Amino acid sequence: MGGALDGLKVIDLSRVLGGPYCGQMLADHGAEVIKVEPPQGDETRLWGPPFDDEGISAYFAGINRNKRTIALDLSKPEGRTVLLRLLDGTDVLIDNFKTGTMEKWGMGYADTLSAKFPRLVHARVSGFGADGPLGGFPGYDAMIQASSGLVSVNGSPDGGPVRIGVPVVDLSTGMNACIGIMMALYERNRSGKGQFVDATLYDSAVALHQPHAPNYLMGGQKPKLVGNSHGSLAPYCNLPTRGRNIVVGAGNDGQFRKLCQMLGKVELADDPRFKTNKDRVAHKVELEAELRALTKDRDGESFANELMQNGVPSGAVMEVSDVMDHPHTRHRNMVWEKDGYRNVGNPVKLSRTPPGVRSKPRKFGADTKAVLAERGFSAAEIDTLIASGVALTSIKKA
């Protein structure tokens, strides 16, 4: 059985992370995704080490599986003509060019593509969008983390603000673009018309400010750096053990009482300083000191599991290598393997049409000739396009 999106045709013009991640989400669920790279290739092909035995970087491999790969020089009119032929019958176009680029090429959605391909859904991933005070500016994850306020709420009082250690803005923007595409396709079932999907890193980052934005907008409360703690919940903290540290979160009074019982000091739950969450937040420093003294001689990983078994949310602080080899990661099919390819699986599980890895990431231009031939280009046309540098099967050297 094919995936849920079997039959959906996607052209992915995007590079680096947000757009390609969106394209991979669609491809994992069965969409036919054709990745169109510029002559120099997607920058992430060079972001390494490590590289596999075909020279494909791990960074590129993590977000470009299940795609066919071609290369076109869209700066040339002939390249844009080829792209227009490829778009005939295509359902979704993804790009993350600098805003205004497609319009400059005479391929803007409003002016050209919507009229020529009325059922096309065109999704753009950009830093800040096309207009407004920051419109048109380029954006990378770390810079948007800073300008959106995410860096300001991450870190400890003594260490200061710190960038979040994974590209959460890029990834969430790719997810939002994917959600927007699916919404537009669902609406197309009623109207018969496609539309433009505008997904920006800035919007996605601002939308992640839970609970900081509601706290500020409702009560004027500005967030403070809390490190491994929580501004409105206690205990919710990182505690030492004689093995791995553990993170414990008691979301209600019952969970806190159970935690105290398992730590052998149930009287803490009746201490006036700690009876309710409001009390515990007000006396968080004293509470965390009490808990650290009670956990320091425990075995972290086994105690975290014991807490979970008794209804207290907790987790040992695992490293990436531990997580990739963890039996629950395997049970959840979150590491995919095929023909020597190993990478993180797709988190969206469907019961009848599950996602899967059909093809590992491809070398630059591996499918250029085949895709053009399938789309009606003659052998002579393909040879001419390659000879003139409009279509490519190997990376153009700088």
Tens of pLDDT, residue by residue over 214-260, are 999 999 999 988 888 888 899 999 999 999 999 999 989 999 999 99
pLDDT higher at 158 or 203: 203
> Does residue 310 share a domain with residue 260?
yes
Given a cut of 80, whether residue 394 has pLDDT beyond it is yes
Domains of the chain: total: 2
Residue 366 lies in a domain: yes
Q: Average of pLDDT values for 141-151?
A: 96
Residue 238 domain-assigned? no
pLDDT, tens digit (0-9, with 9 covering 90-100), for 116-134: 999 999 999 999 999 999 9
Mean pLDDT across the stretch 335-342? Answer: 94
Domain boundary among 276, 292, 317: 317
Last residue of one domain, picked from the residues 317, 347, 366: 317
Q: What average pLDDT does range 337-357 have in this prediction?
A: 95
Task: Among 317, 342, 370, identify where a domain stops.
Answer: 317
Q: Are residues 305 and 371 in the same domain?
A: no
Mean pLDDT within 298-302: 93
The CATH number linked to 34 is 3.40.50.10540
- Write down the pLDDT at residue 2: 83
The pLDDT tens digits of the residues spanning 19-55 come to 999 999 999 999 999 999 999 999 999 999 999 999 9
Nearest-angstrom CA–CA distance, 331 and 115: 47
Same domain, 132 and 266: no
Q: Of all residues in the chain, what percent carry a pLDDT higher than 90?
A: 94
Contacts of residues 296-303 at CB distance under 8 Å and 24 or more positions apart, as own/partner, are 296/240, 296/241, 296/242, 297/241, 297/242, 298/241, 298/242, 298/246, 299/241, 299/242, 299/243, 300/241, 300/242, 300/243, 300/244, 300/245, 300/246, 301/243, 301/244, 301/246, 303/241, 303/246
Give residue 37's domain range: 9-208+331-392
Average confidence (pLDDT) over 59-76:
97
Residue 349 pLDDT more than 80? yes
Task: Give yes or no: residues 256 and 342 share one domain.
Answer: no
67 close to 34: Cβ distance less than 8 angstroms: yes
Task: Choose, from 12, 42, 91, 170, the residue flagged as catalytic.
Answer: 170
Whether 91 is catalytic is no
Domain assignment of residue 220, yes or no: no
pTM above 0.75, yes or no: yes
pLDDT in tens, 305-321: 999 999 999 999 999 99
Pairing of strands 160-161, 121-126: unpaired
pLDDT for res 397: 84
**Residue 64 included in any domain:** yes
196 and 339, same structural domain?
yes
Query: What pLDDT, in 10s, does the model give residues 154-200?
Result: 999 989 999 999 999 999 999 999 999 999 999 999 999 999 999 99
- Residue 126 resides in a domain: yes
Instruction: Say how far apart CA 124 and CA 97 lie, in whole Å.
Output: 8
pLDDT of residue 109: 97
Same domain, 79 and 157: yes
pLDDT exceeds 80 at position 398: no
Quick: pLDDT tens for 257-293.
Answer: 999 999 999 999 999 999 999 999 999 999 999 999 9
Please say if the pLDDT value at position 1 is more than 80: no
